[in-house]
Structure formats: structure tokens, C-alpha cells
Amino acid sequence: MNDSPLIDISDVTHAYKTEAGPLPVLRDLTIRAAEGTFTAVVGPSGCGKSTLTRLVAGLMIPDEGEVRLHGELVKSPRKTVGMAFQNPVLLEWRTIMDNVLLPLEIVGTKLNRAEQRDRAMELLTLVGLDGFEDKRPSELSGGMRQRASLCRSIVHRPEVLILDEPFGALDNFTREDLWQTMHDLRKAETFTCVLITHDLRESLFLGDQVVVLSGRPATVQYVMDVTLGPDRVLDDLYTPESAENLHILRDQIKIAQGRDVA
Ligand SMILES: Nc1ncnc2c1ncn2[C@@H]1O[C@H](COP(=O)(O)OP(=O)(O)OP(=O)(O)O)[C@@H](O)[C@H]1O
Ligand SMILES: [Mg+2]
């Protein structure tokens, strides 16, 4: 049995090279996530959250420290990572089905064409998009496009799923629907997820741990282990314990922003 965490980010420090000189973005940042868990990362705007996701995906290599997935050092872009962003960026000239199939084309697959479509259809059905597979992205609502984007991000069964504020642009009701969809996907599929979010309720509803980053250069300021179980429902956010946890997280964000905690 391999006890090493699936995601192991150790003492990572990174600066962007800019015309004005180096811009330190991450400093001695350490995050560990066990296989199959969901880590929600919150922190002030511009502190380095998206930079962190690029390091995990192998799109960038840190100046210092290391990122390991399953014990293996990340040195180049990883095929075993799936990503979804605030803007679903679906290709308008492709149907929803063909958009979802895209990672299989890029990464390569042993599945034949019919099996690939079955795999995509399985996910589209799970998120409630069966019947929309032949539509174009512009024929779908924003929430439906984000659902399709989630299917696309896991169609190739990635080990690690990185979600960079995928629900940020949606209205509250649609966002809560998508949280539920995320739980459904989690029950049906196996992945270890890092979710970047500005929404503390979202971090609590989806996370097994919530990591609060400090202001830039970001380091881990606070980690909350979430005790809500896998069958959590929205009402669980309104218990006294959740209210207290939200309060703690809100105070941590204020500290990260350099504001006084009342
Ligand atoms: N390619 C780049 N070159 C130079 N500076 C960059 C680059 N990408 C990001 N930055 C800077 O690094 C800092 C961190 O950016 P990053 O996008 O990681 O923050 P973030 O926490 O994701 O912000 P937000 O919450 O607004 O999405 C910002 O000051 C940003 O301007
Ligand atoms: Mg960002």
C-alpha cells in the first residue's frame, strides 16, 4: 500500500520574471492531498492560486521545491491531469459530444470510436445533458456549458482534476446545482481534485480540506479539515458548526488580505 499523498507540493517557491524584475508569487508552499480527496484552495485575488494550478499540471516548473503526483516528480505537462476553468472555452464548431471527446483525441486512448462516445455519453447523462450531445455550445445555457466542460475535464479519467473557479461566473442557484453535480461525479468517478474558489460556502460544501493562502507571495496560512461526510447536502451548510467554520474561514481571508479581524 502506497501511503504517499497523491498530490505532494513541497516547499514550493516561485517568482515570475517581469520587466520590472522578479515578482515573487509563491513562497515555501506545502500542500498534501490523499488519493480521492477534494482540496479547496481559497485566498485573496492575485495571490497565486492559478499559478499553483499550473505547477500541479506541469505547465510550469517551480524555482524551488517540488511537485509530485503519486511520488513522481512533475517536470513537464501531465496527461493524467484534467482541467476546467471559469470560462468553459468550448469550441463552437464542434458539437457538445465532440467537445467532450477532445481530451481523448489529444491524450490518445485505447477506446475505439464507439467506446469513446459511450464514455462521453455516460458522463453527459450523469450531469443531465443527455439529449444535448449534438447541440453546439451556443445553444446551451452557461450552467449547461460548464457541465459539458466538467465532462470534458474527466473524460480521459485523469488522476488529478484541477478546477480553477469553474462556478465563479454562474448565478447562485445554478452554482449550487453544479456543486451537487460535482458530488455526483465524485461518487461515480475516481479523481483527486484541487478546486480554486472565491466562495467559502463552496469550499466547505465540496472540500475535504480547505486551504487558505496568504496574500502574495502566497504560502499556506491555514488548513481546515472538513468533517461533513460524502453524503453532505446543502442544508449542512446552515448548521451551527458550518456557520462557525465559515466564520473562521472569513476571518482567515481577512487576515490574508491584511485586514483587521473584528
Ligand atoms: N505569466 C505571468 N507573468 C508575470 N506575472 C504573472 C503571470 N501570471 C500571473 N502573474 C502575476 O502573478 C500573480 C499571481 O497570479 P495568479 O493568476 O496566480 O493569481 P490568482 O490567485 O489566481 O488570482 P485571481 O484570484 O484573481 O484569479 C499576479 O500578480 C499576476 O499578475
Ligand atoms: Mg486565478
Residues 153-188 pLDDT 10s: 999 999 999 999 999 889 999 999 999 999 999 999
The class of domain 1-78+192-262 in CATH terms is alpha beta
Burial of 202 (0-12, 13-18, 19+ CB in 10 A): buried
Question: What pTM, to 2 d.p., does this model score?
Answer: 0.95
Q: Pocket around ligand 1: residues whose beta carbon is below 6 Å from it?
A: 16, 18, 23, 25, 45-51, 216
Which atom of ligand 1 approaches the CA of 53 most closely?
A: 18
DSSP characters over 116-151: HHHHHHHHHHHTT-TT-TTS-GGGS-HHHHHHHHHH
How far is 1 from 179, CA to CA, in rounded Å? 32
- Three-state DSSP state, 24: strand
CA of 46 to the centre of ligand 1 (A): 5
Q: Hunting for cell 481530451 — which residue is that?
A: 103
pLDDT at 2: 54
How far is 147 from 141, CA to CA, in rounded Å? 10
Which atom of ligand 1 approaches the CA of 43 most closely?
A: 21
pLDDT under 50: residue ranges of the chain: 1
pLDDT at 262: 67
pLDDT at 1: 46
CA of 25 to the centre of ligand 1 (A): 8
Whether 216 contacts 258, CB under 8 Å: no
How far is 262 from 203, CA to CA, in rounded Å? 22
Closest CA to 182 of 211, 215, 149, 214: 149
Q: Quick one: which ligand is closest to 46's CA?
A: 1
